[in-house]
Amino acid sequence: MSEKYQVLIIGAGPAGYVAAIRCAQLGMKTACIEKWVDNKGAVKLGGTCLNVGCIPSKALLDSSHKFVEAKHDFDIHGISVDEVKMDVAKMLARKEKIVTQLTGGIGGLFKANGVTSIVGKGKLLANKQVEVTNEAGEQTIYHADHIIIAAGSVPVAIPPAPLVDDVVVDSTGALEFTAVPKRLGVIGAGVIGLELGSVWARLGAKVTVLEALDEFLPAVDMTIAKETKKVFKKQGLDIRLGTRVTATSVTGEGDAREVTVEYSDASGTKSETFDKLIVCVGRRPLSESLLAPDCGVTLDERGFVFVNEQCETDARDVYAVGDIVRGPMLAHKGSEEGVMVAERIAGKKTQINYDNIPGVIYTHPEIAWIGKNEQELKAAGHDYKVGTFPFSASGRAMAANETTGMVKMIADATTDRILGCHIIGPSAADLVQQVVIAIEFGASSEDLALTVFSHPTLSETVHEAALAVAGHAIHIPNKPPRKK
């Protein structure tokens, strides 16, 4: 019989590996199962996020942004640069180095904390057993007191646009283009589509984004979404809303291959030809072949593992976390669920505030938000007040030549408690975190307004937006407080 563990985790992505480390820290004998291996057969820890998602995409986003800065923005600082060129191969090599360092770092953390790494595909059986099938097809049964499912997600495929080698690709393939495509099509104007489209647009691709919805970024506050669309248009992204892709066809040979996309919009049926096409219309839970029929764990109608607020499944002592369960598919949400479950197994009463999870789009400028947006509050009939502050009035933003965007603060009209904050601008992902903390502690906009912020900093824009809620902003003319 194989070795028994106190905790077995299926999946070593941000939810799984964090859960494994925390379980081990709490003194539990822990193993983490991961099927992903490299071309040498070595396990690849970190899941989609570290290998082909969050981390490599941010590496390319930062590299491409620096290219744009050097090409267009250094002159304003008095810096003269000769002809600026992008070495795509070197950019990709840097990305891979970062990925290797981070994924290797997880292996080091496993070793330091005493987590056992098991290589293979895990399948949950009845009675808290997990069947692991390795690359050679050999199967081993493991037993545990507690099991955590963290199998993650994969890109959604659509019938009209099947993947074709390196011509029609998903988000993973879009990280591996060896040259800048002259004409790039992107199906989907969500977070992934906008980020990847931005990378290649900065490097010179003519990017067309085809989005089926009639509304741009409907999950984002309407003021921020409107401003974002204007910024992206200025950057050269051709975003076409209300377009439904009906078919694709790849023609040509070798480097001369191209893809023709047929789509329909309000004016009828159209077609356009691209050198590359990225399909990024969302992600789905990776739940196929994960559960034996008698394991006791159930899936919902969309393939997510059914769990309660504490991430408990219908099977006793079996939990599920991360992209495989309900809620936003965000690495930070999954990681916190991993910690919560580990601590609850250890007898602690840890919980997550699911109403206070920030969202970010890592374009440039960044878009970030927390809490309720204005359209949600209007629909609910909630009385609120709003304060905004533009980065163009920030001394620090001016010094950095990063004046595009704004901070929008929303508070309850009666209690002044902060209901949401929405930002487009430099370092938005970091700035919004201040408001995440404020909301977690039930702060009012006045609380932030009375807090001392260092000068000159970008964070002063958050301070001024909080002041503006009551019409007390210092560095812009105040309008009468806007209440709804």
Q: Which residues are catalytic?
A: 455
The answer to whether 180 and 287 have CB atoms below 8 angstroms apart is no
Alpha carbon distance 19, 119 (integer Å) = 17
Alpha carbon distance 111, 117 (integer Å) = 9
Q: Prior bond to 162 cis, omega within 30?
A: no
Alpha carbon distance 187, 174 (integer Å) = 12
**Any idea of the CA torsion for 55, 436, 311, 379, to the nearest 10 degrees?**
-110
List the structure tokens of 314: 């219908």
Alpha carbon distance 140, 122 (integer Å) = 10
Residue 33, SS3? strand
Q: How many other C-beta atoms can be found within 10 angstroms of the C-beta atom of residue 370?
A: 26
Instruction: Tell me which residue of 315, 319, 316, 324 sits closest to 22, measured CA to CA.
Output: 319
CA distances from 259 to 74, 285, 418, 479 (A): 36, 28, 48, 51
Block residue for tokens 């800065």: 69
SS3 content of the chain, % helix, strand, coil (to 5): 35, 25, 40
Q: What burial letters (b/e) apply to 265-301, b meaning 16+ CB within 10 Å?
A: eeeeeeebebbbbbbbbebbbbbeebbeeebbbeeee
